[in-house]
């Protein structure tokens, strides 16, 4: 059996990079920060963007990073509940064939496009919560609506009326969950911010302990 990675999980780097995240489900629960990046390590800036909706792909986010290769840009994994901050970092497998990274690459949000990233996150979370509130039957209806036509027989008027009724039901459900969406978004954002705050507090506490030890040594 060939060990060549499949196109869906193509890692351009060494064996060490293969242990790094590639898909959103592999990202750490607690986001990394600038203090986790080794000294003199380049960090690539990117902008958050929404995934292209397909037949039944739930709404998602990705980090669009410009590149000097022939593809000009690459899209990296990102959590739908990511925390938008210039201090946040992500360590992932490289997706560029030209710029292979044996130890993976470090990513960050572009400070100059932070406003756009915040808007994208808000829209992505709302779309995700709408999708999450749908039943399997409603998701199937959306899947069929997005499915490309293959030249089959035309739908009957009864089927068309049923599709319109289902679409109306989906719209009603979305409207009914507007308040719930906003509260869940606020809760998830607060949780992400709390994780980063805890990490910063731990770093500050360690620095304080080191200074106190140094002061005690000097006095003795």
Rounded-to-integer distance, Cα 181 and Cα 174, Å: 9
Q: Does residue 189 contact residue 78 with C-beta atoms inside 8 Å? A: no
Q: For 119-134, how does the pLDDT look when each residue is reduced to its tens digit (9 = 90+)?
A: 999 888 888 888 888 8
For the chain, give percent helix, strand, coil, nearest 5.
50, 15, 35
The pLDDT score that the predictor gives to residue 181 is: 67
Is the pLDDT reported for residue 116 higher than 80? yes
The pLDDT score that the predictor gives to residue 169 is: 64
Q: For 30-69, how does the pLDDT look when each residue is reduced to its tens digit (9 = 90+)?
A: 889 999 999 999 999 999 998 765 554 678 889 999 998 8
For residue 22, which of 91, 123, 98 has the smallest C-alpha distance?
A: 91
Higher pLDDT, 137 or 203: 203
Q: For 84-98, how does the pLDDT look when each residue is reduced to its tens digit (9 = 90+)?
A: 899 999 999 888 888
- Partnered with residue 33 across adjacent β-strands are 88
Least confident of 20-34, 74-88, 136-150, 187-201: 136-150
Buried-state track 166-188, b at ≥16 Cβ within 10 A, e below 16: beeebeeebeebeeebeebbeeb
Helices (H), the chain: 114-133, 136-146, 157-176, 178-219
The size of the chain, in residues, is 220
């Amino acid at each position: 059996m060939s060990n060549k990675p499949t196109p869906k999980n193509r890692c351009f780097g060494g064996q060490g990079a293969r242990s790094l995240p590639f898909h959103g489900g592999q990202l750490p629960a607690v986001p990394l920060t600038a203090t986790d990046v080794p000294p003199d390590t380049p960090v690539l800036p990117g902008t958050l963007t929404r995934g292209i909706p397909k037949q039944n792909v739930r709404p998602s986010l990705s980090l669009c990073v410009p590149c000097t290769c022939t593809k000009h840009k690459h899209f990296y994994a990102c959590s739908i509940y990511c925390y938008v901050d210039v201090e946040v970092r992500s360590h992932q497998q490289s997706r560029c064939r030209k710029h292979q990274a044996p130890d993976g690459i470090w990513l960050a949000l572009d400070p100059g496009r932070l406003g756009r990233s915040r808007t994208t996150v808000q829209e992505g979370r709302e779309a995700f919560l709408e999708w999450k509130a749908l039943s399997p039957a409603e998701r199937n209806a959306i899947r069929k609506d997005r499915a490309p036509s293959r030249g089959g027989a035309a739908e009957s008027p009864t089927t068309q009326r049923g599709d319109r009724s289902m679409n109306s039901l989906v719209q009603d459900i979305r409207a009914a969950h507007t308040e719930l969406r906003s509260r869940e978004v606020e809760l998830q954002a607060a949780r992400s911010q709390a994780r980063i705050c805890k990490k910063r507090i731990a770093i500050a506490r360690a620095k304080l302990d080191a200074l106190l030890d140094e002061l005690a040594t000097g006095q003795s």
